[in-house]
Structure 1
């Protein structure tokens, strides 16, 4: 989710997690005020009919490696990462027992994993961590390692609202093997790992440098990126990640 998710997107997550039978775990590691974020999403998911919603407080690597984490995550049908600072998630959770178990649970389909804003950015292997300089330069975007729940993509969020096309173009020029995926607010991608469907009120912008005829990323000054493709997809459209092609058709929308 690209941030500022409305009730329809949150309800879709609750339904995917099991609706009245859903056992949702909220992880607010990214937030500066985790107790506030936890309380907000516990209230929202409960109001949308989730059977059980509980926070899992992970503010240190000691907590993320604690024995009590495993039974909480194994009992979950859905896990939700809140917004905040995505680097806080990787610093606290990356490589810990919590991270390793989540990788197993998501890979086996045992849980539905969702994240909003920073919680979406961290799904990438190469993660956009910031950048607000003008132009398309190596200096207009900063990157770092994500948690790699969805390999092969670079996710950016609050995309149209904060004018982040330039930094996604720069990121993809630096990492052309990755697909750039910019998600608007109140918008999400629903993916099974090979394709995604667009949900919500905004659009998803995909930047594909795989077909680019020229890429030059100097240490200073403008980037050259010629022949890349850009797709702008509203709700109901799908995109095939392995084939790097959109399927322009009407599907289910949130």
Structure 2
């Protein structure tokens, strides 16, 4: 089966949340909400439980993973194995990797996603953690090492760097900086109320905004000095609204 990921750039509207419920099985969906990233998990859980209930999912529950002991608790396994959809809320992406990375929960989610038995979705911080190299922060005015800080993600979608709230927060500088530092990775800047839906080696764009793809594969000159601006010449940039798709290995958009 094909692994399915719904990666949302933040502020997901009803259409995207409804699509997640549909992908997870509609009325028969069994959805698990994980608010590990949130500083207020009670509120984040309540918000998403109510949203998925409004979209017709009959079984929605929260899985509270507040520390690594909880993420390694054997009682997590039956909850996740019964799920058809797992949703990570926003907040701080480093909390997700610090608490879940390498635990039994991480191992099981990797297994379930690879087998295609669960749809995994994440918004904002829950989107950022999907990549292997994770953008953590950075709001610098230029394209430089100082404009971005990265760390290890959970790598549900290899070969990409994911940034979120992209157009709304003007994050092109930090995505360009990250791609220059990791040119083997495709940079994906996902706007709010916008998502990519993976299908094997490609993704489809959904929602009201666009996905900006930065590809340094054919760049002719990349220089990343310790201080000062980065050189990134000859890279490709694509802006893809809903209805477009992108082939990840081939590094090319599809109509």
Per-residue CA distance 1:157-204 (angstroms, 9 max, x = gap): 000000000000000000000000000000000002410000000000
Q: Residue in 1 aligned with 2:215?
A: 208
Q: Residue in 1 aligned with 2:116?
A: 109
Q: Which runs of structure 2 are paired with 1:73-84 in the superposition (5 Å)?
A: 73-84=80-91
Point out which structure has higher relative CO (alpha carbons under 8 A, 6+ apart).
Answer: 2
Q: Which runs of structure 2 are paired with 1:140-155 in the superposition (5 Å)?
A: 140-155=147-162
**Cα distance between partner residues in 2 of 1:115 and 1:194:** 19
Unaligned runs of 5+ in 2: 1-7
The normalised TM-score by structure 1 is: 0.97
Q: Residue in 2 aligned with 1:36?
A: 43
- Structure 2 counterpart of 1:223, from 212, 230, 250: 230
Aligned residues: 248
1:19 equivalent in alignment to 2:35 = no
Q: Residue in 2 aligned with 1:186?
A: 193
* Partner SS state of residue 250, structure 2: coil
**Cα distance between partner residues in 1 of 2:234 and 2:94:** 32
- Structure 2 counterpart of 1:131, from 129, 134, 138: 138
**Cα distance between partner residues in 2 of 1:131 and 1:193:** 31
Contact persistence 1:150–1:193 (CA under 8 A): no
**Cα distance between partner residues in 2 of 1:46 and 1:9:** 14
Q: Residue in 1 aligned with 2:4?
A: none
- Structure 2 counterpart of 1:232, from 220, 232, 239: 239
**Cα distance between partner residues in 2 of 1:192 and 1:165:** 26
Structure 1 stretches of 4+ with a deviation exceeding 2 A read none
1:71 equivalent in alignment to 2:65 = no
**Cα distance between partner residues in 2 of 1:37 and 1:144:** 24
The alpha carbon displacement at 1:133 in A equals 1.0
The normalised TM-score by structure 2 is: 0.97
- Structure 2 counterpart of 1:6, from 13, 16, 39: 13
Unaligned runs of 5+ in 1: 250-254
Q: Residue in 2 aligned with 1:50?
A: 57
- Structure 2 counterpart of 1:88, from 75, 88, 95: 95
**Cα distance between partner residues in 1 of 2:74 and 2:88:** 20
**Cα distance between partner residues in 1 of 2:174 and 2:39:** 25
